[in-house]
Structure 1
Amino acid sequence: MLTTRVPHRSRDRSEQGPGLEIRRRCRALAKAREGATAVEFALLLPLMLLVYLGLAELGRGIQAKRSLAQYARTIADLTGRGTPSDMKPIYEAANLVARPFDSATIDAQISTVGVYKKGGVYSAIVCSTSRNKGTSVRKVGSAVASDKSHGNTFPDTFKEKMTLANEALENRYILAEVTGTFTPMLGSTLLRVTGLSMSSTLQEVIAWPQRTDDEVVLPQGVACPTVAPT
């Protein structure tokens, strides 16, 4: 029996050569799944690092704020225990308490304040001041207005005469006002070459009762007047 042989039709030359190989590799790449996880991880890695470093800097910022508050409480408490002959040891002790916060950036002022009542209106007057850097901002005889932005500078607690049982000396109190600079570790490194800064100023205000029967008077200061200054 005779059979008819169908002649073999060769592929078009356009389908052969480099073009065919490229298409074959592209189809294989589209179907491949072995490297998908690595690619996805590479895309997500920058975001994951950003979140991680952001949380780390947030923790450092919270710790810096707590350290500054502890510094303010320390100078207020030590000052309120009796009339100091020198404020330098008090500031140095507070520097130790504030670690690891950079105490070189801390600017602190401590004031003794007298509270007076005239015509049903309370007023707070600065009697003596001290500052660890530069010149005092608050002047002796100046009024202290109530400001609650960073801690109340004139709390209602001190607007009435207190008893020693309440750990306050009548209507006198200590006011500690502290500022410090916080610089994120990552941000300062990345922006150093640009000349920009991500540093922020932290503030803390503490109104603290005097803990002695005798009125506290800071060095080179005087006792509060018995009546409100006119």
Structure 2
Amino acid sequence: MSRVPMHSLVFSLQQSVRRRLSRFAQDKRGVSAVEFALILPLMVLLYFGLVEVSQGVIVDRKVKMTARTVADLVSQVSTIDNSGVDAALGASTAILAPFSAANAKVIVSVVSIDNNGNAKIVWSRANKDSGHGTGDSVTVPDALKTPNTSLVWGEATYDYSPAMGYVTGPLTLSQQIFMRPRLSETVKKT
């Protein structure tokens, strides 16, 4: 038997390893899969984040529409009873759909402004719990503080919990609007 010198074995092993590493470095077949695997988590996170932010914007818009609509409905009459106020407040369910109206608190109030520009609640009603107390003081924008007038005040608050909660977390969205009564100086509740 012939023996191969040790340094020849080491040299041939080194050559073999270099050839394999060279072929591996030149092989481009798996590059796309590796790039896709690196980018996929970022793309999925971006997608779900955009969905959550979009849903939040939609709910915020619906909250604004709810406050405006409730105040608008009440401002279009000169007198209203509890069932009429409840119907106006009930419109919030249709406006907020497909989101749950159970997460919303909607309040409609009539505010009277005296000679000194002090604003106080005349009457108030809410879709759940209670509205504001009669005689409570209200902060009204200066542009609306016309003495001896009244305003219809619509408020909507919504506790929004995103489906995933990774990007935004729970949010409380709210909106308020003041409108002048259209048919009379004030909206009386009977």
Class of the TM-score when normalised by the shorter of the 2 chains: 0.7 to 0.9
Q: 1:59 aligns with which of 41, 54, 62?
A: 54
Q: Are 2:183 and 1:212 aligned?
A: yes
Identity of aligned residues (%): 29
Mapping 1:75-114, distance limit 5 Å? 75-82=70-77, 83-85=79-81, 86=83, 87-114=85-112
String of CA shifts for 1:30-60, please: whole Å, max 9, x gaps.
Answer: 2212221221121111112222222222211
More helix by share: 2
* Residue in structure 2 matched with residue 141 of structure 1 by the alignment: 135
Q: Which runs of no fewer than 5 residues in structure 2 stay unpaired? A: none
Which of 156, 159, 163 lines up with 2:142 in the alignment?
156
Alignment partner of 1:117: what SS?
Answer: coil
Q: C-alpha distance in 2, partners of 1:21/1:105?
A: 69
Q: Deviations over 1:128-150 (max 9, x none)?
A: 110111123x22111112xxxxx
Q: Which runs of 5+ in 1 are unaligned?
A: 1-8, 146-153, 162-169, 189-196, 220-230
**3-state SS of the aligned residue for 1:187?**
coil
1:172 pairs with 147, 150, 159, which one? Answer: 150
Contact kept in structure 2, 1:184 and 1:199, CA below 8 Å: yes
Which aligned pairs between 1:22-33 and structure 2 lie closer than 5 A? 24-33=19-28
What residue identity is the alignment partner of 1:187? Answer: G
Within 5 Å, which residues of 2 pair with 1:192-211? 198-211=169-182
Structure with higher strand content: 2
Give the Cα–Cα distance (whole angstroms) in 1 for the partners of residues 152 and 126 of structure 2. Answer: 13
Contact preservation (8 Å) 1:129, 1:218: no
Shift of 1:204: 0.7
Secondary structure in structure 1 of the residue aligned to 2:121: strand
Q: Retained in 1: the 8 A contact 2:157–2:173?
A: yes
Q: 1:174 to 1:35 in 2, by over 3 A?
A: same
Matched to 2:93, the amino acid is N
Matched AA of 1:36: V
> How many equivalent residue pairs?
183
The separation in 1 between residues aligned to 2:103 and 2:28, in whole angstroms, is 55
1:209-228 per-residue CA deviation (whole Å, 9 max, x = no partner) reads: 11222621335xxxxxxxxx
Measured after TM superposition, the shift of residue 22 of structure 1 is: 5.5
> How far apart are 1:112 and its partner, in Å?
0.5
Equivalent-residue separation in structure 2 for 1:72 and 1:32 (angstroms): 63
In the alignment, the residues of structure 1 paired with residue 17 and residue 165 of structure 2 have an alpha-carbon distance, to the nearest angstrom, of: 46
